[in-house]
């Protein structure tokens, strides 16, 4: 066969923005999720699962990167020419579920859910197209106490995962306070495109810094790859007013609230937002959550369009370095906020709701760099080696007898000889290998090769049992 006639073969390559996950990483993730689940259960949330695929119109158009293909989601048409999309978060499917089952569920409805989500965004370091989220939401509660509770939940989750106080912070912002600042700066709420561009510019403060945000509030910014992001086109005084707002945070919640009151004075929506955050501050203080755990930070706005009131996020503040010793900035590992209009899209009636989401992959990455949740190697199974291929039934019986006794066991199913089988058992991390040739069979014995110590034991009693 000539090269011209060769059968074309696909290249074995992983798509950009996706990752393969090892057994060790899976076990570490499961251990972390178990801890988070315990905290969510302690707060009274109940589990729920929704499909990975939803009708596109049910998900809505709320993603930060709407300039990307398919407006940030992976979409396709079914046989009925209905557009379907992979969910980009767990909140939009929850809103659909609540609207569809509103009469049957208790109100408020409290649920938690864990699962993968997909975003058709430009991948980069630590930025994947598929990642896992773990959410807790309260639907049907207008009380600001529901938002305060989720901030407490976020703090308790991080401490349960082994992050001590002083090495994390939960930050509270408010869309209403921001609306008040924009109103005073002359940015009309009626111009939704410009308003949304401002939101997303501020949301990038932790990644781009103040100067990067200034560029996005102005004419725009070119990133390191040369891609240009068009800005909001605001005037210099408007940009100064917004930057002053995002830099108004302080360690003390009372002090920060005082500064915010002056920034929104005369704006009804802004003053309402300050009142809500002030009420959260009182509730948090009464529950024993001080400024050492939860602060007020106006720069927290969250990029998703559907938030309507308080927004919050948590980040790890401990110095984190990668394997090369380089400083790592993770950004938020927990985030959320109030979204009172999301269910209304289906029902026509406003249903108050608030929720919080744990960024599982990012949080686990940070915890592992801090030496936690390493996913310790699990000891491999006992390997039953195949000495005589015509006795497979005997060896299969041995493996099954070990399993019945509660011992993890595997029958070697390859076609290699004994030397290669021993090498296989070693690579599997097996504590020992079971060997029985015709001579051992005749004597009613088996050999047990200890792969840790390198010793070989002969046992008649074991042979009887297996």
**With 60 as the cut, is the pLDDT of residue 31 above it?**
yes
How would residue 238 be classed by pLDDT, with cut points 50, 70 and 90? confident
Q: Give the domain CATH number at 424.
A: 3.40.50.800
CA distance 454 to 431: 10
Question: Using a CB cutoff of 8 Å and minimum separation of 24, what contacts does 404-410 make?
Answer: 405/465, 407/382, 408/379, 408/380, 408/381, 408/382, 409/381, 409/382, 409/383, 409/384, 410/381, 410/382, 410/383, 410/384
Q: 100-114, pLDDT tens digit by residue?
A: 999 999 999 999 999
Q: Are residues 298 and 429 in the same domain?
A: no
Residue 346 DSSP symbol = H
Residue 19 DSSP symbol = -
Q: 189-200, pLDDT tens digit by residue?
A: 777 778 778 878
**Contact 243/213 with Cβ under 8 angstroms?**
yes
Q: Are residues 152 and 177 in the same domain?
A: yes
CA distance 100 to 395: 54
Question: Helices marked H in 120-218 — which ranges?
Answer: 145-160, 175-185, 192-203, 205-217
Strand order in the sheet with 310-316: 46-47, 109-118, 130-139, 353-359, 332-338, 310-316, 168-174, 294-296
Q: How far is CA 249 from CA 142, 288, 295, in A?
A: 26, 21, 8
Q: Give the domain CATH number at 224.
A: 3.30.930.10
CA distance 114 to 138: 15
Q: Output the pLDDT for position 67.
A: 45
Confirm whether 86 is domain-assigned.
yes
Q: Are residues 106 and 246 in the same domain?
A: yes
How many distinct structural domains can be found in the chain? 2
Residue 390 DSSP symbol = G
| Domain housing 264 | 23-369
Q: Are residues 80 and 139 in the same domain?
A: yes
The pTM for the full model equals 0.83
Q: Output the pLDDT for position 122.
A: 81
Q: Are residues 360 and 391 in the same domain?
A: no
Q: Are residues 324 and 176 in the same domain?
A: yes
Q: Are residues 296 and 435 in the same domain?
A: no
CA distance 109 to 338: 14
Between 69 and 449, the more confident residue is 449
């Amino acid at each position: 066969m000539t090269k011209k006639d060769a059968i074309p073969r696909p290249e074995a390559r992983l798509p950009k923005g996706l990752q393969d996950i090892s057994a060790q990483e899976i076990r570490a993730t499961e251990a972390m999720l178990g801890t988070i689940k315990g905290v969510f259960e302690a707060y009274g949330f109940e589990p729920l699962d929704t499909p990975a695929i939803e009708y596109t119109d049910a998900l809505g158009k709320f993603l930060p990167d709407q300039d990307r293909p398919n407006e940030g989601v992976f979409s396709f048409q079914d046989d009925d020419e209905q557009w379907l999309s992979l969910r980009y978060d767990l909140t939009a499917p929850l809103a659909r579920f609540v609207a569809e089952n509103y009469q049957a569920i208790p109100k408020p409805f409290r649920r938690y859910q864990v699962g993968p989500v997909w975003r058709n965004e430009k991948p980069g370091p630590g930025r994947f197209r598929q990642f896992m989220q773990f959410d807790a939401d309260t639907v049907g509660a207008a009380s600001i106490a529901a938002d305060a509770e989720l901030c407490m939940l976020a703090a308790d989750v991080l401490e349960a995962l082994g992050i001590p106080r002083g090495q994390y912070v939960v930050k509270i912002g408010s869309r209403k306070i921001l609306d008040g600042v924009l109103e005073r700066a002359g940015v009309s709420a009626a111009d939704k495109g410009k308003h949304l561009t401002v939101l997303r510019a501020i949301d990038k403060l932790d990644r781009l810094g103040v100067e990067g945000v200034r560029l996005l509030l102005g004419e725009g910014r070119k990133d390191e790859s040369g891609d240009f992001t068009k800005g909001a086109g605001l005037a210099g005084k408007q940009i100064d007013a917004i930057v002053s707002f995002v830099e108004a945070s302080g360690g003390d919640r009372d002090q920060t609230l005082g500064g915010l009151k002056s920034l929104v004075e005369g704006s009804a929506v802004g003053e309402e937002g300050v009142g809500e955050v002030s009420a959260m501050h009182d509730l948090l203080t009464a529950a024993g959550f001080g400024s050492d755990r939860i602060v007020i930070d106006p720069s927290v706005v969250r990029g998703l369009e559907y938030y309507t009131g308080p927004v919050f996020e948590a980040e790890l503040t401990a110095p984190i370095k990668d394997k090369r010793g380089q400083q790592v900035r993770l950004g938020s590992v927990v985030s959320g906020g109030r979204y009172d209009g999301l269910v209304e899209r289906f029902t026509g009636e406003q249903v108050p709701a608030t929720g919080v989401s744990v960024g599982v992959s990012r949080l686990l990455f940070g915890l592992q760099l801090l030496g936690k949740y390493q996913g310790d190697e699990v000891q491999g199974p006992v390997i039953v080696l195949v000495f005589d291929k015509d006795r497979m039934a005997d060896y299969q019986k041995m493996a099954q007898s070990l399993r019945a006794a509660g011992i993890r066991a595997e029958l070697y199913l390859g076609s290699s000889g004994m030397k290669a089988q021993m090498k296989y058992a070693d690579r599997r991390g097996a504590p020992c290998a079971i060997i029985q040739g015709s001579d051992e069979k005749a004597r009613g014995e088996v050999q047990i090769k200890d792969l840790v110590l390198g010793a070989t034991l002969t046992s008649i009693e074991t042979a009887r049992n297996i």
